[in-house]
Amino acid sequence: MKEIPNYKKIEENLKPGKFSLEGFLGNDNRSLFDIISDDKALILQLNIDIKEIITRLKYFRDKGFDFDGTFIIVDEKWKVSVISHRGKTKCPFEDKGFFAKTEINLIYLPKNIEINYSDLSIHLIEEHGFFGGKGSLYRLEPEILKIALEL
């Protein structure tokens, strides 16, 4: 049985200065529950699958990881750079696992769309359906992902 998340505690962790300097909620005034629920509804409406999103995000991350921040062209349509820093980071939802500190910059060349994410963002979407609060540094808009990842 999946454990019911303690949203109050997690919301505290997502605030600035706890697990990261700017936090994960941006200027979003909605509750964490609402942010996750709204994005879940949006994903359904866009007719995309979280598994597909994750597969694509991991694909570009893995392509760029060994190139140490240098931009590479992937499949002639994407430009990706992965900067990895020493150390690991914990999930603000306080579940198991630690994540490499990465900064992944992906540009979809046909439409010049740029997205920024990290190993932790991949986990937050995959395990918690959390795409970030509106206005946060690592918010990944599902509509943009649909186009940039060609889903």
Partner 1 sequence: MNNFVSEVKMEYFFLLKTIIIISSFTTLLTIIIIFIDSTIGNYGIKKININDKKIIEVEGGKPLLTTLISNKIFIPSACGGKGSCGLCKVKVLVPDKKQILPTEAPWLSKEEIDNGYRLSCQLKVKEDINIFIPEEFFSIKKFETEVIEIIDLTYDIKQLTLKILNNEKIEFKAGQFIQLEVPPYELTEQSVYRAYSISSDPKFNDKIELMIRYVKNGICTTYIHKYLKKGDKLFINGPYGEFYLRDTNSEIIFIAGGSGMAPIKSIIHHMINNNIQRKATFVFGARTIKDLFLLDFYLDIEKKLPNLKFISVLSEPKVEDNWNGEVGLVTDVVKKVVNQTENLEAYLCGSPGMIDACVKLLNSLGLPNEKIFYDKFA
Binding site for partner 1 (CB under 8 A): 16-18, 20-22, 65-71, 82-90, 96-98, 100-101, 103, 137
Cα 18 off chain centre by:
18
Question: Of the two residues 48 and 100, which places its CB atom closer to partner 1 in the complex?
Answer: 100
Smallest gap from residue 68 Cβ to partner 1 (A): 4
Smallest gap from residue 90 Cβ to partner 1 (A): 5
Question: Of the two residues 51 and 96, which places its CB atom closer to partner 1 in the complex?
Answer: 96
Which among 142, 148, 100, 134 is positioned nearest to 29, based on CA atoms? 134
Question: Of the two residues 103 and 141, which places its CB atom closer to partner 1 in the complex?
Answer: 103
Cβ atoms within 10 Å of 146's Cβ, excluding its own: 17
**Contact by Cβ (8 Å): 120, 100:** no
DSSP 47: T
Smallest gap from residue 4 Cβ to partner 1 (A): 18
Smallest gap from residue 146 Cβ to partner 1 (A): 26
Q: Coil, helix or strand for 132? A: coil
